Structure 1
Amino acid sequence: MALATILWVDDEIESLQSQKLFLENKGYDVQTLTNGFEAIDFVRDNAVDVVLLDETMPGITGLETLQKIKEVNSQIPVVMITKNETENLMDDAIGSQITDYLIKPVNPNQVLLSLKKIIDNKRLVSEKTNTAYQQQFRNLFMALNSNPDYNEWMDIYKKLVYWELEMEKSESPEMREVLQSQKQEANTEFFKFISRNYAGWLNPKAPDAPVMSHDLFKRKVLPHVEKGTPTFFILIDNLRYDQWKTIQPIFAETFRILEEETFYSILPTATQYSRNAICAGLLPVDIEKKYPVQWKNDDDEGGKNLFEEEFFKGQLKRLNRDDIKFSYTKVVNHNDGQQLVNNIHNLLRNDLNIIIYNFVDMLSHARTEMEVLKELAADERSYRSITKSWFEHSPLYQALKKIADKKINIVLATDHGSVRVKTPYKVIGDKQTTANLRYKHGRNLNYEPKEVLAFRNPHEAGLPVPNVNSSFIFAKEDGFLCYPNNYNYYVNYYKNTFQHGGVSMEEMIIPVVKMISK
């Protein structure tokens, strides 16, 4: 059986017989015609994998033939072959969606390489990706087992995400499974690492701690704020590092990416804790002390992130930067997004513009509730795909494109990521115990110690003590915490949903990116 059917259209086809034979010896079925009219009819009536098309033919030119072929079948790859090297002809051909461009006289290997790129590309890329990952597997294994520090953990996670995205090109489910189990093993080790080191990082005298939520603004945003160049600090809620990598190429079309780093979300990796810590520049225990009225614990009535602007003001004042003229915009629905698009030029008058954009978090919660979204975002790959599609068409991207020609700085970050939960763990608690799936706090919590990271004294984790004798527990890896009553119902309902609040690389190691206009 032929590798593929090639239609070669050239009014001098007789002189190309040796080329035809060469391709047939390589396993291709090569059909030849001498003019564009016949080629259009042939494509209409026959299955063709690639068209090799001469540009200058009597009767109807190659470009005209190309246009008609695309009308018959827009997906068919067409390789234009021409003696003419003029730039505008190339532009026309590329604009008409040719797949490749060869200059006469062509040698057989040139044609073969072009066909391989088109027909075998997927298979060759898949094979190369699998081989490259197999070579990297051992390096990642060694890195995991060499007691990595927090910088090395960020590096390991970035590499795993890189291979996860590369594996989308692979046609081997086995290799994807190997990668998934390596990622699982990494999360097991990461949980032990966080359990050993987390409390130490929060000690103000810690000699070496990573950038975390509560010092993100001071260390990664404020240094870029300068008079005369507006800085936009954009915080997209619940954006994992792999989701950032998916939307990165869209940003790169319009902006120059200067630094792409990661930092650590505090625990719980949940909006009311990690985002308030970013806004206030304080750990939750200190926010509660400084703002007792504004701070809300999980079981308090009212919104948990209503005072972000006030927290930012307080942080700027503490850092002696209350001379900065800043704006604060929060987008929680499409209407807010449209207002941002309409108002974006006015923001250029400020030194600093803080934009909190809630979408990805809403997407993950909606995916839990709605069957149709469970289908659309069934796994990490499709979850990334939906994020990309949202961002491409979002008011946020529209707004940024409107000011892309202005001299601006952008710092893009998030408050935490999320993880797809698969393993249920039983927890027993009294009526005051919180309902979150990846962390809980309450009195008299009953749990299996090896299944969670527990802080009997929440202050050790930089957290308020909501009630006397309250302790906090955090789920590890892909676990989720369920009560024994209605256990099976909740397990089935929440299994395979994206949740946050606990300890995993996906939730804790998150992007912060510096960009400027091109």
Structure 2
Amino acid sequence: MPLATILWVDDEIESLQSQKLFLENKGYSVHTLTNGFDAIEFVKQQPVDLVLLDETMPGITGLETLAKIKELNQQIPVVLITKNETENLMDEAIGSQISDYLIKPVNPNQVLLSLKKILDNKRLVAERTTSAYQQQFRNLFMALNSNPDYNEWMDIYKKLVYWELEMEKSDSPEMQEVLQSQKEEANTEFCKFVCRNYLNWVNPRSDDAPIMSNTLFKFKVLPHISKEVPTFFILLDNLRFDQWKAIQPIFAEYFRILEEDTFYSILPTATQYARNALFAGLMPLEIEKQFPQLWKNDEEEGGKNLQEDHFFHAQLKRLKRDDIKHSYVKVVNHQAGNELVNNIHNLLGNDLNIIVYNFVDMLSHARTEMEVLKELASDEISYRSITTSWFEHSPLFQALKKIADKKINLVLATDHGSVRVNTPHKVVGDKQTTTNLRYKHGRNLNYEAKDVLAIRDPKDAGLPVPTVNSSYIFAKEDGYLCYPNNYNHYVNYYRNTFQHGGISLEEMIVPVIKMTSK
């Protein structure tokens, strides 16, 4: 089986027989023709992996032949071989979508290098990726087993995401399986780590705690606000670190990325808790105490995230930063997105502009409900791909492009991530028990202790006590919490959906990215 089928078209092909032989000895099948007309007929009738095409031939030129070949099959790579180095010829050739060009006289190694670059690139990258991960596997394994602290956990998760994205280039299902297994092991250890340390981070407030939702603005955003350069703080809801990495190249075209960091979402890793904590700069229990009329518990009617701007005003006042001139915009539908595009220039007069953009969360909920989205976002790779495709065509990106040439700073963050759930856990509770799949609170909850982190007294975790004797439970790893009635239906309905509220690397370790205009 040849490595690839090459068609070489040159009116002096007889003088290139040694080159043909050289490529055949390297494992390629090489067909030779002397003119463009025959080449076009050949491509019509035979599968070809690459065409080597002489530019100057009698009858029909290389560029004319190239145009006809591309009409027949846009995907065939064509390498133009020419004596002519004039700039306008090169422009025309590149505009006609050649994959490479070589200047005569060509030597066999030049041709081989071009073939490898075009045809073998994917295979070579895949092989290198697999080999590099094999070398890193042991380092990651040792890091997991060396009792990492919260900074080291952020580093481990970033490395796992890096390899997950790299493995997309590899066609080795075995290595992808090994990585998946390593990720699962990391999540198991991470959940143990959070269970041991979480209450110390939030109550009493430890000096040795990671930056979390409630301290993000204080430590990561407000110190960098200046009167000279406006800052845009964009909260893209439910954005995991791997989804950030997928859209990073789009941002990098327009902005200089200064710092790619992560922080810890509080528990529950759900919008109502994590996002309110972020804007208030307080844990949910403190928000409820300071704003009893504004905080709503899970079971109460009405929107749970309608007071973010009010909470943020109070945070600025508490931190004595209420001299910061700021705006707050929430985008929950396409029309609001278009209004942002039209209004973005008017925000440049503020010191700080907060833009809360809801899409990824809607995507994850819609994916649960709609069969077509389950097909489109069946796994992490396609989930990232949909997020990228959405962002590229979103009003948010249009708005950012409009101000990319202005002197601005940009901070992109999120409230929490999500995890794909696969392992159902049975939970029994009374009528007051909440319906969330990754966390629940209520009285008399019945569950398997090993499946969850249980907080008997919510105040210990900085959480409100919705009803007397309420306790909270948080699902770990890829677990989801189902009631016994109609159990099998719900198990099957929610399996392999993206959920949030519990404890996993994907939900808790989330991006905060600092950028500036180029």
> Following the alignment from structure 1 to structure 2, what is the Cα–Cα distance between the partners of residues 411 and 64?
50
Asked whether the 8 Å contact 1:475–1:502 carries over to 2, the reply is yes
Residue 306 of structure 2 aligns with an amino acid whose one-letter code is L
Q: Superposed, which structure 2 residues align to 1:254-403 within 5 Å?
A: 254-403=254-403
Deviates more, 1:166-175 or 1:477-486: 166-175
- The one-letter amino acid paired with 1:41 is E
Deviations 1:60-80 (A, max 9, x none): 333332222211110001112
| Offset of residue 87 of structure 1 | 4.1
Hey, what does 1:236 align to over in structure 2?
236
Alignment of 1:43-54 (within 5 A): 43-54=43-54
Please report how far the alpha carbon of residue 124 of structure 1 lies from its aligned counterpart in structure 2 after TM superposition: 2.3
SS of the equivalent of 1:289 reads: helix
2:11·2:33 contact (CA, 8 Å) conserved in 1?
yes
Which is worse superposed, 498-507 or 437-446? 437-446
After TM superposition, the structure 1 stretch with the greater mean CA deviation from structure 2, 166-175 or 199-208, is 199-208
Distance 1:89 1:257 in 2: 37
1:501 alignment counterpart: 501
Rounded to whole Å, the distance in 2 between the matches of 1:474 and 1:221 is 29
Which amino acid is 1:221 matched to? V
Show the 5 A alignment for 1:97-176: 97-176=97-176
Change (3 A) 1:224 1:80: farther
User: Secondary structure of 1:196's partner?
Assistant: helix
Counterpart in 2 of 1:14? Answer: 14
Structure 2 Cα separation of the partners of residues 205 and 272 of structure 1: 21
Deviation, 1:126, is 2.0
Mapped partners of 2:495, 2:219: distance in 1: 37
Q: CA deviation at 1:290?
A: 0.9
Deviation at 1:493, TM superposition (A): 0.7
Matched, 1:210 2:210: yes
Give the distance between the partners of 1:219 and 1:91, measured in 2 at CA: 51
Aligned to 2:57: 57
Q: Which residue of 1 aligns with 2:516?
A: 516
Residue 204 of structure 1: CA displacement? 5.5
What SS does the corresponding residue of 2:168 show, helix, strand or coil? Answer: helix
Shift of 1:374: 0.5
The count of aligned residue pairs is 518
Cα distance change, pair 95–220 in 1 and its aligned pair in 2 (3 A): farther
Please list the CA deviations of residues 101-159 of structure 1 after superposition, one character each: whole Å capped at 9, or x if unmatched. 22222211121122122222222222222221111111111000000000110011111
1:433 aligns with 2:430: no
Q: How far apart, CA to CA, are the structure 2 residues paired with 1:86 and 1:198?
A: 67
- Using the TM superposition, give the Cα deviation of residue 84 of structure 1 relative to its aligned residue in structure 2, in angstroms: 3.2
**Which whole-Å deviations, capped at 9, do the CAs of 1:315-348 have from their partners, x for residues lacking one?**
1111212111111111111111111111111111
Q: Find the aligned partners of 2:187 and 2:87 in 1 and give their Cα distance.
A: 53
Aligned residue in 2 for 1:27: 27
In structure 2, the residue matched to 1:200 is: 200
**Distance in 2 of aligned mates of 1:482 and 1:379:** 22
- Give 3-state SS (helix, strand or coil) of 1:288's partner: helix
In the alignment, is residue 458 of structure 1 matched against residue 458 of structure 2? Answer: yes
| In structure 2, distance between residues paired with 1:410 and 1:327 | 14
Give the TM-score taking structure 2 as reference length: 0.97
Greater Cα shift, 99-108 or 252-261: 99-108
Where does the alignment leave 5 or more consecutive residues of structure 2 unmatched? Answer: none
Indicate the residue corresponding to 2:473 in structure 1: 473
* In 1, Cα distance between equivalents of 2:39 and 2:339: 52
The separation in 2 between residues aligned to 1:231 and 1:92, in whole angstroms, is 43
Displacement after TM superposition at 1:349 (Å): 1.6
Of 125-134 and 257-266, deviating more is 125-134
Q: How far apart, in 2, do the equivalents of 1:181 and 1:250 lie?
A: 30
SS in 2 for 1:310: helix
Deviations 1:390-435 (A, max 9, x none): 1111111111111111111110000000000011111111111110
C-alpha displacement of 1:481 = 0.6
Tell me, yes or no, if the aligned pair for 1:224 and 1:409 is still in contact at 8 Å.
no
Residue type at the aligned position of 1:244: W
Q: Over aligned residues, Cα RMSD in angstroms?
A: 1.4
Are 2:35 and 2:60, in contact at CA under 8 Å, matched by a contact in 1?
yes
Q: Say if 1:418 and 1:506, in contact at 8 Å, map to a contact too.
A: yes
Structure 2: how far apart are the matches of 1:202 and 1:465?
16
Cα deviation, residue 205, structure 1: 4.5
Which residue in the other structure is 2:489 paired with?
489
Task: Report the alpha carbon displacement of residue 27 of structure 1 after superposing the two structures with TM.
Answer: 2.2
Contact conserved, 1:340 with 1:396, CA < 8 A, in 2? yes
Distance 1:23 1:426 in 2: 63
Unaligned runs of 5+ residues in structure 1 are none
Go from structure 1 to structure 2 and tell me whether the alpha carbon gap of 1:478 and 1:61 turns closer, same or farther (over 3 Å shift): same
